[in-house]
């Protein structure tokens, strides 16, 4: 598998077997012509589908896939609320990891008897993870959103 220099294409080459374009995607056959698998050319993504343009070389051994440009896919958030939501989604995994680390640290310190200690370390860990992953773009989006900017 090779990625194109434009970071938008990928080329896969078969040693034995062939690629064939079909009405629903790309068929992959073994050296005897038996169908092994099919690959769709449209993949569902968040709020849209990603369509791929296939190119098969003359002997059917190499397949190159390139996304079909969609102007709607390139749209950026237009409001501070959209930008804030996008940044929160991006940083939420960091909050989850931080909360887990905070809980691991807090349980031995407070245990079950002193439950507020693990709760506090979990919340602190989540906040640190959220800000560490989100960084300045998250802070900027939060300031814009919570100050009422459009």
Element (H, E) at 125: helix 116-146
For residues 53-77, b (16+ Cβ closer than 10 Å) or e, as one string? eeeeeeeeebbbbeeeeeeeeeeee
Ranges of residues in the chain with a pLDDT under 50 are: none
Percent of the chain past pLDDT 90, that is, above it, reads 44
Q: What is the pLDDT of residue 89?
A: 93
- pTM flag (> 0.85): no
Q: Given this model, what pLDDT does residue 110 score?
A: 80
What phi and psi, each to the nearest 5 degrees, are found at residue 10? -140, 135
Q: What angle do CA 38, 59, 22 make, to 5 degrees?
A: 30
Q: Cα dist. 52→36, 85, 94, 97 in Å?
A: 20, 28, 32, 34
d(CA 102, CA 6): 41
Q: What is the pLDDT of residue 139?
A: 93
Placement of tokens 């960091």 in the chain: 94
């Amino acid at each position: 598998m090779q990625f194109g220099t434009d970071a938008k294409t990928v080329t896969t080459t078969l040693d034995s077997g062939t690629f064939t374009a079909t009405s629903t995607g790309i068929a992959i056959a073994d050296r005897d012509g038996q169908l092994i698998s099919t690959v769709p050319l449209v993949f569902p993504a968040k709020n849209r589908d990603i369509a791929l343009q296939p190119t098969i070389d003359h002997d059917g051994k190499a397949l190159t896939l390139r996304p079909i440009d969609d102007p709607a896919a390139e749209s950026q958030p237009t409001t501070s609320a959209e930008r804030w939501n996008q940044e929160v989604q991006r940083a939420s995994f960091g909050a989850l990891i931080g909360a887990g680390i905070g809980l691991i640290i807090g349980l031995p310190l407070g245990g079950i008897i002193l439950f507020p200690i693990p709760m506090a370390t979990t919340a602190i860990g989540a906040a640190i993870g959220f800000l560490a992953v989100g960084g300045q773009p998250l802070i900027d989006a939060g300031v814009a959103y919570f100050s009422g900017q459009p």
